[in-house]
Amino acid sequence: MKFLNNLSEINLTTINKNKKIITINKYFKKPNVDEVKDYCKERNNNIDAEAFIDFYESKDWKIGKNKMKDWKAAVRTWERRETKKPKTMSKLDSQISAWQEAKKLL
């Protein structure tokens, strides 16, 4: 068995009317926290590896109704969503900021 990108490859060979047919089955292997942390460090993103693992564990490693095939692609998707998030303040933070500005004027 050979592992590449956390997918194991098993070559199955059958003989069908004197033709050799090779099928490659790929199986998903769940990552552990250290693997996700290492990948996030390699990509230099701010993804919380434990939150990532917990999120997909709660969903039985499914995306919608489909089983996950590549967890590294999921990390990259989380990374893109983090960079697209607007850097806005929460309502409470904006109220505190306004209060501090008003306090300076007094």
Residue 91 lies inside a defined structural domain of this protein: no
Residue 12 lies inside a defined structural domain of this protein: yes
Specify the pLDDT at position 96: 85
Residue 101 lies inside a defined structural domain of this protein: no
In whole angstroms, give the CA distance from residue 71 to residue 5: 9
Residue 46 lies inside a defined structural domain of this protein: yes
Specify the pLDDT at position 60: 94
Name the domain count of the chain: 1
Specify the pLDDT at position 2: 47
Specify the pLDDT at position 19: 63
CB atoms closer than 10 angstroms to residue 95: 11
- Side by side, which strands form the sheet with 7-16? 2-4, 7-16, 19-28
Q: Which residue segment(s) compose the domain that 9 sits in?
A: 2-85
Q: What is the pLDDT along the chain (106 residues), one digit of tens a residue?
A: 444 555 555 555 555 566 665 555 568 899 999 999 999 999 999 899 999 999 999 999 999 999 999 999 999 999 999 887 766 667 788 888 888 888 887 7
Specify the pLDDT at position 23: 55
Residue 105 lies inside a defined structural domain of this protein: no
Residue 102 lies inside a defined structural domain of this protein: no
